[in-house]
Structure 1
Amino acid sequence: MNEWRVIDTGFIGAAENMALDKTILRVVNEKKSPPTLRFMFFDKPVILVGYNQNVADEVKVEYCIENKIPINRRITGGGAILMDRGALGWELVAQKDVLPKGPVENMYKLLCEGCVNALQKLGVDAKFRPHNDIEINGRKVSGSGGTEEGDTFLYHGSLLIDFNVELMLKTLNTPLEKLKDKAVDSFKERMTWLSRECNSVPKVDELKESLTKEFSNVLGFNFVYGDITEYEKKQYNDNLNYFRSDNWIYQNIRKKKKEYHSSIYKAAGGCIRTYLIFDRNEYISQAVINGDFFVYPSRLLRDFESMLKNCRVKDIESKTNEFFNAQKWEIPGVTPADFITAIKMAIVSE
């Protein structure tokens, strides 16, 4: 078995964590450090946008500045998130030859399984949700994503131990805002955290130990506790000012702010309310679907929203039909064609 280094960099700031991401990825790729599992924490609430996102689209910048909530940018893609002291971050950095062959979804599944297994060993009924989420009772408790440099990958995730829903809604632009007074409840239908789900919440040290063992099992490595090397410290110090700079944080700025597209469509079984955000008018980056109809199983629409994320606009019809054909479901008076119509109406809305 390969030997991996396990490090815990403690509670530090947003720029510091992002600079460490880049440093460890680069140095492992240079083969000057071993494959690494890092546990990371944030010393205060921070907003992290995905590498390809526009800050103005995703973040309520004025509120964050007024309330001294740092904004930064990950080196990985994905959506904007709130991280605070109630979230445990984990990341794996190693050569790509340890990963399964085939599409990137194979990597997502394998690495998320490590986290799922770790939670299950602690008595938490966690499950993998394609493409790259972990859920408890149908609600997302952990998201993940990755990037690469040379022949090395970095894959990281956030595990919510506790969470401040109200602060998230104050700091991030989200379709759930459109639900006004129902926003908090609508968010809680979709996401959760360990302190909400567990009678006895695992301690952070228990979570780290279980994660280390289960990542070791799925990837086949022996772990050795270590620390940042002197070479990494130099690289980190050289990078840190850049990750604090506006050039890093506010790149990808567009003059026009991203708009929500919405529709209300009356099907036989009730109204379908659809809220969408697009990336470059080609992909759906966020989708929220609600209505006054009855859905069996109750989690069906949450899974449908997950499927729509990153779906090409031109593939909406085929992907929707494929989704509903792949499982058992009942929505009296509402058909897949109704959802397709509702989504298409939202796409062309102003």
Structure 2
Amino acid sequence: MHGEYKVPGGKLVVVDLDVVDGVLANFRLAGDFFLEPDDAIDLINAAVNGLPASADATTIAAAVREALPEDAQLLGFAPESVATAIRRSLTSAADWRDFDWQIIHSRAVSPRLHLALDEVLTTEVGLGHRGPTLRIWEWDESAVVIGSFQSLKNEVDLEQARAHGFDVVRRISGGGAMLMEKGSIITYSLYVPAELVQGMTFAESYAYLDDWVLIALQGLGIAATYKPLNDITSPSGKIGGAAQKRLGSGGVLHHVTMSYDMDGELMARVLRIGREKLSDKGTTSAAKRVDPLRSQTGLERSEIIDAMKATFISLTGAVPGEITEAEYARAEELVAEKFATAAWLNRVP
């Protein structure tokens, strides 16, 4: 069996192995990482051989770490990276280039239709009715988008939201509330089959699916990094955040909102961001946590999006795509049935 894992922000880890009578055998580690001392690779190989094929990533990583000498230096990877590559080999996980990707960057639509399209397109990818897709959103109005499990009254000042022209909607993924001011954000969704993140922990899948946009931002001169669990950040401040939802069809939704420009005072008026949420951030102001892409690059929003698309194409071979009329129609039905209803918005009052 063969498995590969590109460590986000790091190096490629490659494993080859056999499974004999339920245990790992003939294990060989390779990659473009750095490892000292030189014979530490033999110690890692020996530690993995003989482990049960059913061992989870935590068990494998612990065995690798235990086998390493105290002075071992692992650069560009970690014991957890080896474990992830092994689990991906055992589950026949796929790689980005194993799929025919599409990029959709179509007309501006309402916030509710965007959320419905996320559910429709994720379902379609999971069922195999469309290939993996990157969709970049364009907005026809501003909105506050709250997470699936957030309390509406605790997160949003509805009176202020209405006064400033923000629709208030609830998405299917978890995470926190986002102030989506038209023209001031960059939002995109990835719709992928579960095979792409097979063998990864939930946290690893966030980093893995964010890696391409970090490469794009770094190409623009931004020292962008991934901060667990779901933030994209830089030395100047937070850039954006991600959220995921896994559907029964086998599709995985990973969507990200990044701040292009922002009005910190407006955000503070519309969102109820409590002291507890900020307590581990080292600041008393949510606005001070964020440093938008406009101030970091001086580029137009469209220029940043073009750079993102170019990077994604270079990494995946993606081609332009479109949302079908049937997909739009199903999304409109979901708006009426779900996303525009008071029952959905108030599912957590």
Under TM normalisation by the shorter chain, which class is it? Answer: 0.5 to 0.7
In the alignment, what sits opposite 2:52? none
In the alignment, what sits opposite 1:101? 199
Once the two structures are superposed, residues 176-227 of structure 1 have per-residue CA deviations (whole angstroms, 9 ceiling, x without a partner) of 6999xxxx983343111012223x22x334323332344456xx63211011
In the alignment, what sits opposite 1:50? 147
1:240 aligns with 2:335: yes
The secondary structure found in structure 2 opposite 1:3 is: coil
- Which residue, 219, 225, 230 being the options, matches 1:127? 225
In the alignment, what sits opposite 1:24? 121
In the alignment, what sits opposite 2:177? 80
CA contact 1:36–1:92 (8 Å) conserved in 2: yes
Summarize the Cα distance change of 1:34–1:102 in structure 2 as closer, same or farther, 3 Å threshold.
closer
In the alignment, what sits opposite 1:341? none
In the alignment, what sits opposite 2:345? 249
CA contact 1:93–1:154 (8 Å) conserved in 2: yes
Question: Which structure has the bigger radius of gyration?
Answer: 2
Q: What is the CA–CA distance in structure 2 between the aligned matches of 1:238 and 1:67, rounded to whole Å?
A: 28
In the alignment, what sits opposite 2:256? 157
Give 5+ residue unaligned stretches, structure 2.
Answer: 1-96
In the alignment, what sits opposite 2:305? 208
In the alignment, what sits opposite 2:112? 15
Q: What is the CA–CA distance in structure 2 between the aligned matches of 1:208 and 1:238, rounded to whole Å?
A: 30
In the alignment, what sits opposite 1:227? 322
**Pairing of 1:1-350 with structure 2 (within 5 A):** 1=97, 2-84=99-181, 85-99=183-197, 101-150=199-248, 151-175=250-274, 186-198=285-297, 200-201=298-299, 203-215=300-312, 221-241=316-336, 242-253=338-349
Once the two structures are superposed, residues 212-265 of structure 1 have per-residue CA deviations (whole angstroms, 9 ceiling, x without a partner) of 344456xx6321101111221221122121311111211122xxxxxxxxxxxx
In the alignment, what sits opposite 2:77? none
In the alignment, what sits opposite 1:302? none
CA contact 1:41–1:87 (8 Å) conserved in 2: no
Q: What is the CA–CA distance in structure 2 between the aligned matches of 1:106 and 1:215, rounded to whole Å?
A: 20
Give 5+ residue unaligned stretches, structure 1.
Answer: 254-350
TM-score normalised to structure 2 length: 0.65
Q: How many residues matched?
A: 245
Q: What is the CA–CA distance in structure 2 between the aligned matches of 1:17 and 1:31, rounded to whole Å?
A: 21
Once the two structures are superposed, residues 33-91 of structure 1 have per-residue CA deviations (whole angstroms, 9 ceiling, x without a partner) of 22110001323321111001110111101222344421000111001110112101011
The secondary structure found in structure 2 opposite 1:186 is: coil
CA contact 1:145–1:156 (8 Å) conserved in 2: yes
CA contact 2:124–2:251 (8 Å) conserved in 1: no
Once the two structures are superposed, residues 154-183 of structure 1 have per-residue CA deviations (whole angstroms, 9 ceiling, x without a partner) of 00101111011111111111126999xxxx
CA contact 2:240–2:257 (8 Å) conserved in 1: yes
The secondary structure found in structure 2 opposite 1:169 is: helix
Residue identity in the other structure for 2:110: G
Q: What is the CA–CA distance in structure 2 between the aligned matches of 1:6 and 1:197, rounded to whole Å?
A: 25
Residue identity in the other structure for 2:184: G
Summarize the Cα distance change of 1:28–1:144 in structure 2 as closer, same or farther, 3 Å threshold.
same
CA contact 2:120–2:331 (8 Å) conserved in 1: yes
Identity among equivalent pairs (%): 26
